[in-house]
Structure 1
């Protein structure tokens, strides 16, 4: 078949004019959600259509290639991203159906009845742990469902979890975003990790304070400032030391565990003078007492064993996700393990049988990229290694823990699929849009435009990462998309290339909360499918504000704050 070469200045040979056209699908999506308040699947599908038309009519991409790139993205949107949200919501619904979630709710209240502190424990700390272990939507889906389950308004639960998920994203999925960009750029992962670890700890301190202010205002936030500082500082300090002296793999997991332990212990000896509740909350008081915590149905005491039993589905989930994240296990799950361990070798055989990478017809190695080389295009179907599969295994184990029949288990799974059908369409369409933008060259046009800002590039460098995560929904994908461009531009301008790549990752984390995929996942998790516009309006301004903080920090680190760099 004939090949097609990407063109990055298709409008009169002007990069600026081409960028104005390339940004149209993004502006349309913002308009569709923020202004017209379209349902997510409608906004996503029409945005994909706009992108395909621009790719064909402006960039000259052959119709078949544009359509196949959209299909490739849609498949990736379903697996692994959509699979994660299906499995996560399914697991949550099983705990609700079995009645165990009532005990989970009461056990959280036994630590603190204060909604502000519950948000810190679940949205910030527990969400960060899940981000470090799995990433790809699991932390927002599970933590948002937990918050909604214990009484948070669904929109608040989703919005707070998206905001809280800012700080840990760069080190998500056992450091995948940083490890992935290290290879193609040639910058050692530890060098990038060290710089990211000297940027994000500032957000790790700010974000807990910021999300509580959103919940209750500045005055009520100051009432729990000691707890906020314990949560944020313990996380930030651990994040700094692990990222600088251990590498990118463990900052999220260790920081989250330290934060959870420190805040829980602190709340044993300190509680705010007044308890903050939502207006819709019931007014009964629950306290910690003796051998267990009160707060179950009819006020009965919750013994430690019963609480542990209720939490066991999520403990199993945590264990499996952590296991899935171990590098050697991950290799075996994809059929790439070459070591001598008998168990991993056996797992490797299964992983190989369940891993498929068929080429995308009419697209694979037919698009010639900026470097003059053909671009691979495959359907990446890794069934066993997908985080959603780990969550499904946790759901199977939960079936036995909670003594549910297979009939109930299957019925709940069917209900979950039915509830999430529009959310999956949203995810598939917006990931399809991202793939079209990448394959046609639109993303590169936008990146090259920002890279042409000269001496101001250090300020605009994080915006590339933000844009990349908005387009792809992944800090890893954003780093791979713009990492090389960041390095080349930084070298030309005399900027530390490791700082530019780190800025791409740090800026990207602020785009996670407005990424269409993240919005769809969060809405689906709390039962707000179709309400993407409301959640997008909630998170958009916060994303821009946090991005500007990273932009200013990166710019200052090239001069006034250069002492912060390793």
Structure 2
């Protein structure tokens, strides 16, 4: 905070209401005014500039520096990761490897309950971790339809299953972005990642049961219980280990790969007695491939997993610290005129060019091209151009939202809102996940949600004496439950299965599950706030 007071009106209620104007405006622009995300973010940024400078007396130089910092961080490292992840996916498709991956998953069992666990849950989580931003819902819904599921049914399953992986989409960005926000007390993404292990594993373990129950009732759960237990156990316990000891980057990728592998191996020795098909007359056969072909097809994601794992190691990260061997590879630019004597800090822009996770993904892309005879470097860079063209608007939107977050933090707006919200006292942890649920419903993004509301959660946590990491993890978990019903997710799902115009039907199908899950997160967060 670079202002003398977060209460310019000397009335906390009034100051907090004015401080909330940008966020309320952003939500209104998305819902009532039906504006596109980038237009809503741009309008909100302009209003935030006015409020922070004229009302909260944020110096113009600091405001300008905060905007620059937010925009740069939106491009690097966040936009860098997003573009590289989606580029890797496109290269794997163009090389023909992705089709083999699809066939290898679908060929494990003809039972559609098993296929739902493999594709709707595990592969969905893998794509969420590798690419995110709607890719898993679109791809997996189409795959399920190709395997005989009804279109809206397939879309619903993918939306619900995404509730187990949305917190760590696109190489863990929703949690990883915490490191760019400069939160009070120095809260880090690693701390939030560890705290998600108190809540998300319960949901993750339950969702495979829920998917099978929706598809085939209690009868289905009973008949494929061993397969559900293999999937739920492997995914959940591996993710706990990774989120606690390694951080958010691989929290979807490794658990989903191991869950798919474990279920595939298990199904080599076990198949349900009754093979369930949505359409019993369907006799379609999935193409078969050799083990060597399948192993080669998965290579882009072996590269991705291995390289991101190395980039996530503390010993590797230590290379880029001020005392590390590669410290000169880190560009740190202190913006002139922003140093605050009282705070003993200024605003700096940091570019960790080699140590960024996006660079690990870039290397995975280059290795994939080098080992794929069906695609050359020229074609790959052509796909990069298409990827940038497709994603520049989402990345620009993130830049604007990060700029808004910087202004609200430096101008004291976040502190005012946090102090006001904290007036609810010990009851706030019960309401904390709802803030995240609203944020994702409106923005369609857990990344944007955490950018906007994590500072408020942290301020409230410090005020009421509850762990800020717990509240930010609750904000994340509550937000993920809104992925099931956010307009953006619903639109992607209906479009992918050719059911545009039936968005309201799909919303009705997922709404009760979204509400039930966020209600659990609210109650559980409140219990945790009492015992932790």
TM-score bracket, normalised by the shorter chain, equals: 0.7 to 0.9
Q: Is the 8 A contact 2:84 2:358 kept in 1?
A: yes
Alpha-carbon separation, structure 2, partners of 1:22 and 1:115: 51
Q: Residues 83 and 251 of structure 1: is their aligned pair in 2 closer, same or farther, counting only changes over 3 Å?
A: closer
1:454 matches 2:422: no
Query: Corresponding residue for 1:90?
Result: 87
1:327-374 CA distance string (max 9 Å, x none): 111232x35564xxxxxx5xx3xx632x21212355x334x8xxx525
Query: Corresponding residue for 2:148?
Result: none
1:98-136 CA distance string (max 9 Å, x none): 2222222211211246676556445654566788xxx7x
Query: Corresponding residue for 2:58?
Result: 61
Out of 332, 355, 359, which is 2:334 matched to? 359
1:254-282 CA distance string (max 9 Å, x none): 754553344334444235732358xxxx9
| TM score, norm. by length of structure 2 | 0.75
Q: Give the secondary structure class of the aligned counterpart of 1:285.
A: coil
Alpha-carbon separation, structure 2, partners of 1:103 and 1:220: 32
1:502 matches 2:470: yes
Q: Residues 501 and 102 of structure 1: is their aligned pair in 2 closer, same or farther, counting only changes over 3 Å?
A: closer
Query: Corresponding residue for 2:526?
Result: 555
How far apart are 1:16 and its partner, in Å?
Answer: 2.3
Q: Is the 8 A contact 1:84 1:391 kept in 2?
A: yes
Alpha-carbon separation, structure 2, partners of 1:205 and 1:520: 26
1:489 matches 2:464: yes
Query: Corresponding residue for 1:429?
Result: 400
Q: Which runs of 5+ in 2 are unaligned?
A: 146-150
Alpha-carbon separation, structure 2, partners of 1:162 and 1:178: 21
Q: Residues 307 and 455 of structure 1: is their aligned pair in 2 closer, same or farther, counting only changes over 3 Å?
A: closer
Out of 362, 365, 385, which is 2:355 matched to? 385
Q: Residues 234 and 23 of structure 1: is their aligned pair in 2 closer, same or farther, counting only changes over 3 Å?
A: same
Q: Give the secondary structure class of the aligned counterpart of 2:408.
A: helix
Q: Residues 415 and 457 of structure 1: is their aligned pair in 2 closer, same or farther, counting only changes over 3 Å?
A: closer
Query: Corresponding residue for 2:35?
Result: 38
How far apart are 1:226 and its partner, in Å?
Answer: 5.8
Q: Is the 8 A contact 2:432 2:522 kept in 1?
A: yes
Q: Which runs of 5+ in 1 are unaligned?
A: 287-294, 339-344, 491-496
Alpha-carbon separation, structure 2, partners of 1:163 and 1:264: 23
Q: Is the 8 A contact 1:116 1:276 kept in 2?
A: no
Matches of residues 313-462 of structure 1 in structure 2 within 5 Å? 313-332=300-319, 334=320, 336=322, 338=324, 345=325, 348=326, 352-353=328-329, 355-362=330-337, 364-366=338-340, 373=343, 376-403=346-373, 404-462=375-433
Query: Corresponding residue for 1:5?
Result: 3
Between 1:320-329 and 1:229-238, the stretch displaced more is: 229-238
Query: Corresponding residue for 2:140?
Result: 147
Q: Residues 72 and 464 of structure 1: is their aligned pair in 2 closer, same or farther, counting only changes over 3 Å?
A: same
How far apart are 1:252 and its partner, in Å?
Answer: 6.3
How far apart are 1:87 and its partner, in Å?
Answer: 1.2
Alpha-carbon separation, structure 2, partners of 1:8 and 1:53: 15
How far apart are 1:305 and its partner, in Å?
Answer: 0.6
Q: Give the secondary structure class of the aligned counterpart of 2:469.
A: helix
